[in-house]
A and B are shown apart, each in its own frame.
Chain A
Amino acid sequence: MSDSKLMKGNEALAEAAIRAGCDGYFGYPITPQSEVLEYLAEEGRQRGMVVLQVESELAAINMVYGAAGAGKRAMTSSSSPGISLMQEGLSYIASAELPCLVVNVNRGGPGLGTIQPSQGDYFQSTKGGGHGDYRLIVLAPASVQEMADFVYDGFDLADAYRNPVMILADGALGQMMEAVSFKTYDPKERVPEKKWATTGKTPDRERNIVTSLFIQPEKMEEINKRLQAKYKVIQEREVKYQLTTTDDAEIVLVAYGLAARICARAAELARHRGIKAGVVRPITLYPYPYDVIRQLCGHARRFLVVEMNAGQMVEDVRLAVEGRVPVEFYGRMGGMIPPPEDILEQIIRYSENQPGGAAPAERAEVHEIMER
């Protein structure tokens, strides 16, 4: 492509934010995503965007609340510990139904953890890390190109559903460089009119109020029902996933983001050895592609879920599979990335062992731990 550039994931994302017509970015530095703030502080400001480095992630997410409530495209980005601080604000934003984009360049935890790539924030992102019944739309990029593309999609989805959207990446996607090209996108054509926004009460309309406070329980239940109805529509319409050689796969890997890329290579290596392996890559983590996983139970004899965490998305795969075939898990934690060879080893192990429990090697390990 003619305008293809070599860029870091964080910078590609920041560039896309400018092109997507983001009006305001509010952020706090944290590794491994500080390049987003740095890039916007220079490029974004020059191109007319409000870019503010603020005192905390708490302040940042509440400024996003204010700016989104004022009808503008607003975003913030952070990494795991900073995203934890934003959970309060995300719950308020979801309840007040404000469209905005939040980027989590996931690093290893728990606690202060490490600055290395991780997928340990799956639960927090997809199940609601803050209080109350709410959902974020969660997009999981697997390349620098998608770090850029999902910014446009994220803002469009946020505006379409008046719902916060999260891009859940990881430290590797943020830091690595790949070729990226930026699509033609005119925010003027894409941003809908926001009649509900607080832009100043004019004589021709009632005042607009942005709030998440509905003190009467009857009203609060009504609001909850409305949110749930919206989430149902999102589940019906917005599921996105990618399938790689799953048509005849007997062992189906399920992985997202960076882990999905590694799994695609592992499946290819397995095919070279005559093992029918395929990969399901959920692109939207919420809404989750339960149906496509369920449908694969026809010929899949096993699922192997690979994550850079202790096993979080595997629970959704088990919900989809409902015990029809075994669902295995392989994960690395704390910022470690599994190489394709390690995943291949798991594929071989599980394709040699038919349904019926852990492989002998693992049993020996468990036995050893228990003895200690």
Chain B
Amino acid sequence: MESVWTKPETLTDTRMHYCPGCGHGAVHKVLMEVVDEMNIQSETIGVAPVGCSVFAYHYMNVDMQEAAHGRAAAVATGIKRVLPEKIVFSYQGDGDLAAIGTGETIHAANRGENILVIFINNAIYGMTGGQMAPTTLLGMKTTTTPEGRTTETQGFPLKITDLIAMLPGAYYVTRQAVHTPNAIRSLKKAFLNAFRYQQARKGYCLIEVVSNCPSGWKMTPVDANKWMEKNMFPLYPLGDLKAEGKLVERKQP
């Protein structure tokens, strides 16, 4: 029989705690596939955040550190600075990276830290039960914006990836997704790029993955993906924002 699906070796056999339809599982798998294909398990060190992916180290069979909420980029900096030959990545959600950890996020990028930051943006705090995130869309209902997010009260969705692309320290900044096979293939290529850049000491790489949260959004996985395409992608359009240190010309959404 032809094998149509295999689990990457660096993905552990531990059963994932993620909700059905959540994008984390696919991102984990693709990330570990790239670690396998590049044969870098023994030199890769990951940093897990606080958020839904707080247990990422249960699933990724590489050395990992669990950071305090928002501090993953600082922890990754500490590791990379003393072990510059290793491959270091952080894996963070929108609350972790773009709210409580904004300072660490921006300064790590601005220093051009030679690390990969993976940013899962699902516009909601999943782990704590569906509160507003910095990336929550205007009008979007969450447990802390029951009438929908308004600019008067909660300000605007923070496009932190666009902000980081502007910094000279950032070498490769891209926005990806995992809702279709094509999107997954594209994300895999982005991971490959980022790790190769890190090996070549090119500097800071940020990969945003626009993802869903069926539980937090209170939708079925299929509806969540449809909603994401219709509402998230216009504000967070997919594609490279910065490639090889140069800003990519993009149509304004």
Contact = CB atoms under 8 A, between A and B. Distances in A.
A63 interface: yes
B76 to A, nearest CB: 6
Contacts of B104: 55, 58-59, 62
Contact of B78 (A55, A67, A96, A211): A67
Q: Is the interface of A mostly helix, strand, loop or mixed?
A: mixed
A52 B81 contact: yes
A303 interface: no
A66 interface: yes
A31 interface: no
Contacts of A9: none
Contacts, number: 130
B83 interface: yes
A55 B101 CA distance: 12
A201 B79 CA distance: 14
Among the interface residues A52, A59, A74, which one has the most CB atoms of the partner chain B within 10 A?
A59
B1 to A, nearest CB: 30
A62 B61 contact: no
Contact of A210 (B42, B65, B77): B65
Nearest to B81: A50
Given A89-B68, A213-B54, A50 B63 contact: no
Interface string B42-70: 11110110000011010001111111100
Contacts of A207: 57, 61-64
A66 B63 contact: no
A353 interface: no
A55 B113 CA distance: 13
B82 to A, nearest CB: 4
B66 A74 contact: no
A212 interface: yes
A212 B74 contact: no
A209 B48 CA distance: 10
B45 A70 contact: yes
B117 to A, nearest CB: 14
Contacts of A56: 103
A109 interface: no
A96 B67 CA distance: 10
B28 interface: no
Contacts of A201: 41-42, 44, 61-63
Contacts of A72: 82-83
Given A54-B74, A58-B74, A62-B67, A70 B61 contact: no
Given A66-B79, A69-B65, A200 B107 contact: no
B62 A59 contact: no
Contact of B77 (A66, A96, A199, A213): A66
A63 B80 CA distance: 10
A155 interface: no
A43 interface: no
Interface in A83-116: 88-89, 92, 96
Given A50-B81, A92-B68, A200 B103 contact: no
Contact of B82 (A24, A60, A200): A24
B79 A62 contact: no
A184 interface: no
B105 to A, nearest CB: 10
Contacts of A199: 45, 63, 83, 86
B184 to A, nearest CB: 25
A208 interface: yes
A200 B75 contact: no
B202 interface: no
A212 B45 contact: no
B64 A210 contact: yes
A164 to B, nearest CB: 14
A288 interface: no
B71 A62 contact: yes
Given A59-B74, A202-B42, A208 B63 contact: yes
Contact of A200 (B44, B48, B57): B44
A64 interface: yes
Contacts of B82: 23-24, 50, 66-67, 70, 72, 74
A26 interface: yes
B107 A54 contact: yes
Given A55-B103, A59-B104, A210-B66, A200 B79 contact: no
10 contacts: A26-B78, A52-B77, A66-B47, A66-B65, A67-B78, A69-B79, A70-B82, A96-B66, A207-B61, A212-B66
Interface of B: 41-45, 47-48, 54-55, 57, 61-68, 71, 74-83, 86, 103-104, 107
A-B interface, 9 closest residue pairs, ranked by CB to CB distance from nearest: A66-B78, A63-B78, A211-B66, A62-B74, A198-B63, A66-B75, A62-B71, A67-B78, A55-B107
Given A58-B74, A59-B71, 7 more contacts: A62-B74, A65-B65, A66-B76, A66-B78, A67-B81, A198-B63, A213-B54
